[in-house]
Amino acid sequence: MNKDKTGRRAKGDGSIWRGKDGFWHGAIRRIGQKPRYVRARTQRDVTVKLRALISTLDRTGELPAIGSRTVDNILQQWLEAKTNVSRVRPTTLRSYRLSVGRYLSPRIGRLRLRELTPARLTGLYAALAEDGTPSATVKRTHEVLRNALGYAVRAGLMDANPCNRAEVPTHERKPIRPLTLEQVQALLNAARSDSLEALYALAVGTGMRFGELMGLQWGDINYAERIITIARAVQEAGGKPVIGLPKSAASRRRVHLPQFCIDALRRHPRRLSPWVFSSENPSMPLQRSNVVRRSFKKLLARAGLPSIRFHDLRHSHATLMLASGANVKVLADRLGHSDPALTLRVYAHAFESDQREAVNRLDRHLRSRTEGAS
């Protein structure tokens, strides 16, 4: 916002102050129009809201009435803003658009923002669930709407976000189906005759995500130290591979390799390509759909294994590491989890046998002491 030589805000730029309620307040007044007030917990947030109002006023000549915009209008405006943010992954944008186009716009797109209430949104989520929409999809749809309406609140178009008080159906995480040690051995044995043997060896030997495996380049492999550097990931958008950064800062990591992974990599055919797993076009990596359909499902059948997701190979690595006595922090680092607590939550099932064995050891120890004293 502009200031004159005295340091005061220029006319029409609004005013900001901290109220006795602990919140920051802002106001903009224009001749012939009612003043508009905004409120936020920080001075920065109030400034953002005030600037959004001034931008609208300069563009249209009038301030928008609170809640007068349609939900669809805000959803599209939010999507456009997200599209212009380079750090948003293509697959994430596609997920946002799917939620908006399939679940939000058709049902509540024509409503005015002021018509949205927590009860109305609770009804929306319940209706989606009754129609057979998976609970994970309902929750994702709620998060998309919550973020979009948060954008509207920051722009001063809503006083509060109704999503914050809406009830969302409980999301039940899909059960993890890791392979046993014997099943992993069967998988690797069957993969010896597969051109993608190294892919499956790395999946169960490192726990790398599929996109990270596809983003692997020959220069990322240090054979002498048996280390892989995970520096990029490949996602699919519109049926085409998109190369970007891994999922998070913690995902950019170095992973130590077991020897069987090194052996598989040395056997892997090297093409004139920087990618370890390249497509028929050497300049591009493989695509997930091709790998799963043409190779992975057939490999499982050849090895006599149940039909699982490729991602379950990552889970197989984690559970086998825990069974071998790996520290949870070490495993979190290998998987690219920023918080070991997440690793504990996801793989809590793997600790059941450890708990049972610990109880048995305690029982044997105390019984021997008790019997010895009697």
* pLDDT given at position 172: 65
Close Cβ partners of 166 (under 8 Å, ≥ 6 residues apart): 118, 119, 121, 122, 125, 142
The pLDDT, as a whole number, for residue 343 is 87
- What's the confidence (pLDDT) of residue 10? 40
List CB contacts of 160: < 8 A, sequence separation 6 or more. 153
| Angstrom distance (rounded) from CA 220 to CA 243 | 15
Residue whose pair of structure tokens reads 């046993």 in the numeric block: 180
pLDDT at 212: 93
State the pLDDT at residue 259.
Answer: 95
Q: What is the pLDDT of residue 266?
A: 95
Question: Is 307 within 8 Å of 300 (Cβ atoms)?
Answer: yes
Q: What is the 3-state secondary structure (H, E, C) of 263-290?
A: HHHHHCCCCCCCECCECCCCCCECCHHH
Write down the H helix ranges in the chain: 43-60, 71-83, 90-99, 105-108, 118-130, 135-154, 181-191, 197-206, 210-214, 259-267, 288-291, 297-302, 311-323, 328-335, 340-346, 352-373
Look-up of token digits 């892989």 = 228
pLDDT at position 131 is: 76
Of 274, 302, 281, 89, give the one whose Cα is nearest residue 200: 302
Q: What is the DSSP letter of 11?
A: T
List per-block mean pLDDT (blocks of 10 residues) for the chain, which spans 374 residues.
Answer: 41 74 79 71 82 74 66 89 76 88 89 89 87 85 94 80 88 78 95 95 95 94 96 76 80 94 94 91 85 92 94 92 88 91 80 64 66 56
Model pLDDT, residue 302? 95
DSSP 103: I
Per-residue b or e along 263-290, where b marks 16 or more CB atoms closer than 10 Å to that residue's CB: ebbeebeeeebebbbbbeeeebbbbbee
Alpha-carbon distances of 191 from 26, 243, 299, 300, 301, rounded to whole Å: 65, 27, 7, 9, 11
Q: Is 229 helix (H, G, I), strand (E, B) or coil?
A: strand
In this predicted structure, what is the pLDDT of residue 22?
79
Global pTM exceeds 0.85 = no
Q: For residues 363 and 367, what is the distance between their CA atoms, to the nearest angstrom?
A: 6
Q: What per-residue confidence (pLDDT) applies to 5? A: 39
pLDDT score of 1: 47
Classified as helix, coil or strand, 248 is coil
